Structure 1
Amino acid sequence: MSRLRLLTTLGAFSALVSPTFAQPQPAPLPMPPTIAEPRDTPFPGTLTVSVDATDTAHHVLSVHETISVPKEAAQKGEMVVLYPMWIPGDHSPTGVIEQLASLRVEAAGKAIAWTRDTVNVAAFHIPVSATTATLDLHFQILTPVTPKEGRVVMTPSMVNVQWDQVSLYPAGYFTRGIPVEASVKVPHGWQIGTALRSPAPGDETRFNATTYNTLVDSPLYSGRYFRKFDLTGPDHVPVTLNVMADDPDSLNAKPEQIEAHKALVKQATALFRSHHYDHYDFLLALTDELGMIGLEHHQSSENAADPGYFTEWDKTFPERDLLAHEYTHSWNGKYRRPADLWAANFNTPQRGSLLWVYEGQTQYWGNVLAARSGLVTKEQGYDALAYMAASYDNQTGRVWRPLEDTTNDPVIAQRTPLSWRDWQRSEDYYVEGQLVWLDADTLIRKLSDNRKSLNDFAGTFFATNNASVVTSPYTFDDVVAALNNVQPYDWAKFLHDRLDTIQPHAPLDGLKNGGYALVYTDEPTSFIKAREEQMHMVDVTFSLGMIVKKDGTMTRMHWMSPAYKAGLTSGETIIAVNDMAYTDDRLRHAIKDAHTNPKQDIRLVVKAADHVMNVTIPYHDGPRYPHLRRIDGTPDYLGAIYAPL
């Protein structure tokens, strides 16, 4: 810069800060003191949590909690309690603190004014003194009345109590070191299912003393219509299927259906060659009213399915890998857990860099174990695999976003609806992770002449310290080392190539090495037909590039698909197809007719808000549905994978 130009620039800057323009500039206020970090020190006291879950009419859970006041807090003159925000299994800060209401704090019968932290809104400051032995907290959780406010957890026939939602805990301690005694009151005559144990269950049940970690990890299902089925396997460790339903008829399970669930326990135990629970409780709600859920816990899992889960067995198989998935998490995710997903308490941010193992391999075993146990047939498992493989092979967002980055999505999007799911990508580490592990399994079989498989990885990596319930964290290097112990290979490169690089196509080598090819035909599989019937929609994902609801509303629009290129967007409604009022069958026929007659485009009348428009889609390739086709002359490793152990 020349001297003249420098002087000119300095002169201009000087003019800006000259007394004529100079004014006091704002400075940031100091942040409030940080909340005490958790220490691995036993909490010197006890929590008691009492929940009244009887007000199902208003969807209100009423809570009374007592917390011992440590001497350290009394000396400081303040105790801080936290509302849980980072819930294991959600992988993001999903605590429903907005539902907390009417918080009242007392000590020795006298009210104490609490103050919410201005930065950490899940932290509450409570003044205490040397004479304050315990605090009494009274509050309500105003659970959603309709799905518009969130997941419904109370209905006239059932309730789901998640202890993280109905309790606060003292800051400054590892939650595994906080003793707690819990109780719940449910409507008269209702039964309870939970991994917690009680000497005398009833309308008001007091559970055995435990730790706060275990309490939060042990949700409760209670219902008017309830059945328990014994699934205990060959290792004689108790396993129970606790089922509640909107109506009593939905509980009519046939013996062979329960046998398939027993086989799930048997097959999982054979695969993982271990157990990491004293007992295990499947919690299953068959409902149209309670919010859907699939959430893992160490000794239980929360699940919800269609009311026809048992009574319409031939139609509900697309959702029957759910229990297998969540059960697998007892080994993968709860016992063995990525090191950056383990946290000292429920308000410490978690990181999900290894979710492609935690969820991806669990997705893989969920699909496989469902087939091995007979919860689905092998062919139904294949159909589900074909659909998932095709979905991710046709995903446009993979050209800009690597799979590894989707492990950040629980925090980025927090499972809110996305405008362009196909282009944005979401939590793809689940299903694409499944394809990565299929690739690994078939490659191990190929390299070892079928002497080794991913079964051997599962039977060693997750089988350490049999019967221990203490979490065992792992790193990327641990996973690579375990794979090399099964079959030497450059597994680090194998994984990095599939996780960290842009891949325009899904990892389908697992299908090829397994003896199958992904193909498309004009006939939907039984899996697609069942999903369409169950979800009341027509799936034209692989032709027009969208899903259409029964009323004609378009959803899951694919970026750059024929429908997208025609100017259509999710949320718009098809009024007419080829000059006739919209029905699912007319849309299907229009796709076939345009294939038969290449001169005939697909004509739609579409409503977008208050606008109505005519849209033409020049698509002529006909219906396209994914299938798996056997490759002649190759080993059928996929068949071996799906065969029972």
Structure 2
Amino acid sequence: MTLPSTLRAAILPALFATTFASAVFVNSASANPLPPALDQPYPGTIQMRIDASDTAHSIFRIRQSIPARPGKMTLLYPQWVTAQHGPTGALHQLAGLKVTAGGKPVAWKRDPLNVFAFQIDVPKGVTAVDVEYQHLSPTEGNQGRIAVTPDILGIQWQSMTMYPAGYHTRRIPIQTTLTLPAGWQYGTALETAERKGDEVRFKTTDLETFIDSPLFAGRYFKQIDLDPGAKVPVRLNIVADTPEALEAKPEQIAPHRELIKQAYKLFDSQHYAHYDFLFALSDEFGGVGREHHQSSENGVKANYFTEWNKTEAVRTLLPHEFTHSWNGKFRRPKGQDVPNFNTPLENGLLWVYEGQTQYWGQVLASRSGLVKLDSVRDMIANSAATYSNVQGRNWRPVLDTTNDPIISQRRPQVWPNWQRSEDYYVEGSLIWLDVDTKIRELSGDKRSLDDFARLFFGVDNGVVNAKHYTFDDVVKALNSVQAFDWAPFLKTRVEDIGPAPLDGLARAGWKLVYTDKPTEFLKGVEDQSKTANFQYSLGFSIGSDGKVTGIVWEGLGFKAGLSGNTTVLAVNGRAYKPELLRSAITAATKDSKPIELLVKHGNDYRTVSFDYHGGLKYPRLERIEGTPDRLQAILQPRQ
């Protein structure tokens, strides 16, 4: 079941905000096969200069000097981006490509099969080629995520960079100089060598680290130390639409600092020299939640601090992305161990990479106090209800949804409740609740998934280089914590079709129920998004513009003929308002009259009748009497 975007944000905070709609996916075959990627030092350092000062046009102007030898050479533009799990490189935003050597033009030719590869012939006597081009950042939402506003810019280096084929990217040195808009400040995990005026020179690093270290800059900027006095700094780098949006009260900063403490108690390790949250508070800058090893990109609405009581739903974002430093960046699935950004990724373990991160993100949000324990419980209830009603579970296992970043690339779907989407996130979190409670049950509540986290992610404390794992490694670590037949336990849950994995919920001492009133948390989410969720009664939701969304496959709305491009205009003859439809559903429990909706589908108008008398239904969790409350134990802070 697909939820309204803001409600879905309560479950997948900003993770799906990244726009994939314009991504280009091509066969990795090449008319001129690429040279094998050698795991040896590249002979020389790429020098790159980026002018990011043209915010009026959202244009980045790039120049590179790439060490080269005479003969054939292939330049690559990144195609596969690890944190996006798919072939989403923004090739369509590259323009104005010119190549010169010794001041003379050099012709380039795009490979007709692998359009991310550009071939050139380096003239004799040349030691470097100079490359010039622009990155044309979107100026409207239908072009992609807005990364440049009059007051904020975000730089994802993979969109700015070309690199030579034939070497592992971690063996290619690069030194970059960036020109910012006048007076702007910035945050990044890159090490600064010096700043002169608005020109910033970064220390030389390898290309893999460089691309994994994005930058946010802004006219209004504040940096907050989240672990004062620590040898390994953790910083919150905030950019915002206005100086007022930057102002956070001490009681708001306190749970962010507690997040760091609770994460260290969980993972008992650090795998970064320092960590930088890049945090945009904006109504113009595109929402984002993207992990990196020593930083993360995070974008929410401008009211994050100023309307604190309304933003609880998005406060699982920072815990989620921080968890990724351990899970997904330090420990990575073996299928993500690739030599460069143009080698396909294998996503089969994303239910560990993202699913367990989703789980820990909610747990740490509760333990830190960023989100109330009761609200996290409501999030879990909503997840359980969602996946209990996803009809696509009847044909597609959650394991297959790990292919969705490649198949659909987060483009809008026609029938998402039937097609399914990247369900390895939220359904994955339910699987890990199942694992956690199973460990607790088998051990008499002496051990838990916390022990797995320390064992699996806490290994090699202080090491930054990625440590890759297989399914068998996960099973082995679980058995080290608690002996059990974990392999079939996990495979059944990720490979089989059928009911949602709710055993962990019952083992935690709770059950999913439906009542005629939403919980305060979910009511707040609906109020903020101006959407109305009738999925568990009439089988659909309605957006802020009256448009029907999230239709349950073969649910009541589906059977009544509702589909996309349908707007509800009236309820029982009166102009549609969410509260009017809620009242009509409630009234129908007391009589036999059908509920009538006037709807517009394209240019056609018609009346749709619902002979439904079951009342409003909203999910919540209810205690199972006589059982231990393991969910309370999971979500409470560690002392």
Task: Give the match for residue 433 of structure 2.
Answer: 438
Percentage identity across paired residues of the two chains: 51
Deviation at 1:595, TM superposition (A): 2.0
- Out of 611, 618, 623, the residue aligned to residue 618 of structure 1 is 611
SS in 2 for 1:193: strand
1:513 aligns with 2:512: no
* Residue of 322, 337, 352 corresponding to 1:327: 322
Amino acid at match of 2:526: E
Please tell me whether the aligned partners of residues 512 and 621 of structure 2 are also in contact (alpha carbons under 8 angstroms). Answer: yes
Query: Are the aligned partners of 1:316 and 1:530 in contact in 2 as well (CA < 8 Å)?
Result: no
Q: Aligned pair 1:639/2:632, yes or no?
A: yes
Question: Match of 1:590, as an amino acid?
Answer: A
Question: Within the alignment, does 1:102 sit opposite 2:101 as a pair?
Answer: no
Q: Structure 1 residues 488-497 or 228-237, which shifts more?
A: 228-237
Match of 1:458 among 423, 446, 453: 453
Q: Give how far 1:292 is off.
A: 1.2
Task: State the one-letter code of the partner of 1:524.
Answer: P
Shift of 1:236: 3.3
> Shift of the alpha carbon at 1:37?
2.4
Give the equivalent residue in structure 2 for 1:364. Answer: 359
Letter in 1 for 2:450: N
Give the 3-state SS of the residue equivalent to 1:86 in structure 2. Answer: coil
Are 1:554 and 1:572, in contact at CA under 8 Å, matched by a contact in 2?
Answer: yes
1:244/1:285 contact within 8 Å kept = yes
1:62 aligns with 2:61: yes
Q: What are structure 1's unaligned runs of at least 5 residues?
A: 1-29
Q: What RMSD over aligned residues (CA atoms) do the two structures have, in Å?
A: 1.2
* 2:222 alignment counterpart: 227
Is 1:45 matched with 2:44?
yes
TM-aligned CA deviation for residue 541 of structure 1 = 1.9
Aligned match for 2:273, one of 267, 274, 278 = 278
Flag the structure with more relative contact order, 1 or 2, with Cα contacts below 8 A and sequence separation at least 6.
Answer: 2
Which residue number in structure 2 is paired with residue 564 of structure 1? 558
Q: What is the CA-CA distance between 1:199 and the residue it aligns to?
A: 3.4
Pick from 547, 554, 568 the counterpart of residue 541 of structure 2: 547
The equivalent residue for 2:107 is: 113
What is the SS of the residue equivalent to 1:496? helix
What SS does structure 1 have at the residue aligned with 2:53?
A: strand
Q: Distance in 1 between matches of 2:74 and 2:32?
A: 12
Q: Hey, what's the Cα distance between the residues in 2 that align with 1:33 and 1:116?
A: 10
Tell me which amino acid in the other structure corresponds to 1:307: A
Query: Structure 1's 397 and 518: CA in aligned 2 closer, same or farther, altered over 3 A?
Result: same
Identify if the C-alpha distance between structure 1 residues 391 and 147 changes in structure 2 by more than 3 Å, giving closer, same or farther. Answer: same
Q: Which of the numbers 384, 395, 414 marks the counterpart of 1:419?
A: 414
> Could you report, residue by residue, the CA deviation over 1:466-501 in whole angstroms, capped at 9, with x for unpaired residues?
110110000000000000000000000100110111
Corresponding residue number in structure 2 for 1:578: 572
Within a 5 Å distance, the mapping from 1:137-536 to structure 2 comes to 137-201=131-195, 202-232=197-227, 236-503=231-498, 505-536=499-530
SS of residue matched to 2:365: helix
Deviation per CA, 1:406-459, whole angstroms, max 9, x where unpaired? 111111111111111110111111011100000010110011011000000000
Alpha-carbon distance in structure 1 between the residues aligned to 2:585 and 2:620: 19
Matched, 1:601 2:600: no
Are the aligned partners of 2:596 and 2:609 in contact in 1 as well (CA < 8 Å)? yes
- Give the partner amino acid of 2:255: A
User: CA shift at 1:527, angstroms?
Assistant: 2.5
Give the AA of the match of 1:55. Answer: D
Q: Deviations over 1:72-117 (max 9, x none)?
A: xx2xx21111000100111110001000000111112111111111
Contact (CA 8 Å) 2:389, 2:552: kept in 1 or not?
A: no
AA partner of residue 405 (structure 2): P
Aligned partner of 1:516: which letter? W
Q: Which amino acid aligns with 1:179?
A: P
Secondary structure at 1:41 match in 2: coil
Q: CA deviation at 1:233?
A: 6.5
Q: TM-score, normalised by structure 2?
A: 0.94
Instruction: Show structure 2 runs of 5+ residues with no match.
Output: 1-28
1:93 is matched with: 87
Counting only pairs closer than 5 Å after superposition, residues 124-143 of structure 1 correspond to structure 2 as: 124-143=118-137
Aligned partners of 1:303 and 1:547: how far apart in 2? 27
Distance in structure 1 (CA, Å) of the matches to 2:473 and 2:86:
24
Deviation at 1:536, TM superposition (A): 2.1
TM-score (norm 1): 0.93
How far apart are 1:529 and its partner, in Å? 1.6
Equivalent pair of 2:187/2:278 in contact (CA under 8 Å) = yes
Q: Which residue identity does 1:65 align to in structure 2? A: Q
Q: State the secondary structure of the residue aligned to 1:347.
A: coil
Aligned partners of 2:425, 2:41: CA distance in 1, in Å? Answer: 36
Q: Which amino acid aligns with 2:478?
A: L
- Which deviates further from its counterpart, 577-586 or 470-479? 577-586
The amino acid across from 1:343 in the alignment is V
Shift of 1:163: 0.5
Stretch moving more, 129-138 or 221-230: 129-138
Distance 1:596 1:290 in 2: 48
What secondary structure, in the 3-state scheme, does the structure 2 residue paired with 1:206 have?
strand
Q: Distance in 2 between matches of 1:523 and 1:556?
A: 20
Deviates more, 1:452-461 or 1:632-641: 632-641
SS of the residue corresponding to residue 75 of structure 2 reads strand
Which of 586, 589, 592 is residue 583 of structure 2 equivalent to? Answer: 589
Name the CA distance, whole Å, in 2 between partners of 1:530 and 1:136: 54
3-state SS, counterpart of residue 150 of structure 2: coil
Structure 1 residues 253 and 596, CA gap change in structure 2 (3 angstroms): farther
Provide the aligned length of Structure 1 versus Structure 2.
Answer: 609
CA distance in 1, matches of 2:590, 2:249: 46
Q: Residues 556 and 570 of structure 1 are in contact (CA less than 8 Å); yes or no, is this contact kept in structure 2?
A: no
The structure having more radius of gyration, on CA atoms, is 1
Deviation at 1:153, TM superposition (A): 0.7
How many Å apart are 1:622 and its aligned residue? 0.9
